[in-house]
Amino acid sequence: MALQEELETQGNWLFRYRSFLPIVIILVGWARYLRRVLHPEEFPLYVADYEQLYFAVAIGIGLLGLLIRVYTVGYSPRNTSGRNTKVGQVADTLNQTGIYSLVRHPLYVGNFLMWLGPALVTVDLWFIISFCLLYWVYYERIMFAEEQFLRKKFGEVYLQWSAKVPAFLPNFSNFTPPQISFSWKKVLTKEKNGLSALFLIFFLFDVSVLLFNPDHYASRILIGLSVGSGVLYLILKFIKSKTSLLLEIDR
């Protein structure tokens, strides 16, 4: 198999199992975080007086990633930009406005920042660097597979768009306003998992310190955010499964 076809095949396979990568990252990161709790002298970047600042910055970066996903999903039409399913890629139109005028893969930019947040909590430079490299190798193949599909389907239109819009690092000088309205219903339907998972991960990191330090003061703010986002997730899941309140035919 030629390298081009091999990368495309790998990308399609990795997309279907992309949910497992964050689990591996979180487990390894959690292990490094607990190692730092037990042996802080091994982590030269860690300063105890700034621990709350580490958490605040990490949560902020994670939330920035979530906001990028919210903006992207809220302005995206139905079946656009190479959505990969079990039966193959799907794209009725090519998104070229809004955030897609800045970067070709905004959802993966959002994902990167969402998972970079927990990685930063470890204050482990080598783990953070390893995470960034692993993420790039993993998602590079997924992006390659999606772009192969879009190139074949949209031809010259795709080539002209991709020539001026970068793949991963946004170019803010290219911005073109979205052509459709923002859909909160679509955001609540698609992004409820990310919000609850993000706060739950930070909460579990924080509360796990109690395993080794009974005097640790677990953040009440994180507890509240984790519980609140979890309750919101259950409410939205119930509304989606039992009613049509969040249903939009064209989105």
Read off the CATH number of the domain in which 108 is found.
Answer: 1.20.120
Say if 95 falls within a structural domain. yes
Say if 19 falls within a structural domain. yes
Say if 226 falls within a structural domain. no
Say if 133 falls within a structural domain. yes
Which residues span the domain enclosing 10?
3-182
Say if 225 falls within a structural domain. no
Say if 241 falls within a structural domain. no
pLDDT tens for the chain, residues 1 to 251: 566 667 667 667 777 777 677 788 889 999 999 999 899 999 998 898 888 888 899 999 999 999 999 999 999 887 664 445 455 566 668 888 999 999 999 999 999 999 999 999 999 999 999 999 989 988 888 888 888 888 888 889 999 999 999 999 999 998 999 988 999 999 998 898 888 999 999 999 999 988 888 877 778 888 899 999 999 999 999 998 888 888 887 76
- Give me the amino acid identity at 9: T
User: Residue 176: beta bridge partners?
Assistant: 98
Say if 54 falls within a structural domain. yes
Query: Can you say how many angstroms the Cα of residue 33 is from the centroid of all Cα atoms in its chain?
Result: 21
Q: Three-class SS string for the chain?
A: CCHHHHHHHHHHHHHHCCCHHHHHHHHHHHHHHHHHHHCHHHCCCCCHHHHHHHHHHHHHHHHHHHHHHHHHHHCCCCCECCEEECCEEECCECCCCEHHHCCCCHHHHHHHHHHHHHHHHCCCHHHHHHHHHHHHHHHHHHHHHHHHHHHHHHCHHHHHHHHHCCCCCCCHHHCECCCCCCCHHHHHHHCHHHHHHHHHHHHHHHHHHHHCCCCCCCCHHHHHHHHHHHHHHHHHHHHHHHCCCCCCCCC
Say if 251 falls within a structural domain. no
Q: What's the number of domains the chain is made of?
A: 1
Q: Which residues contact 199 (CB under 8 A, 6 or more apart)?
A: 222, 225, 226, 228, 229, 230
pTM of the full structure: 0.89
- Count the residues in the chain: 251
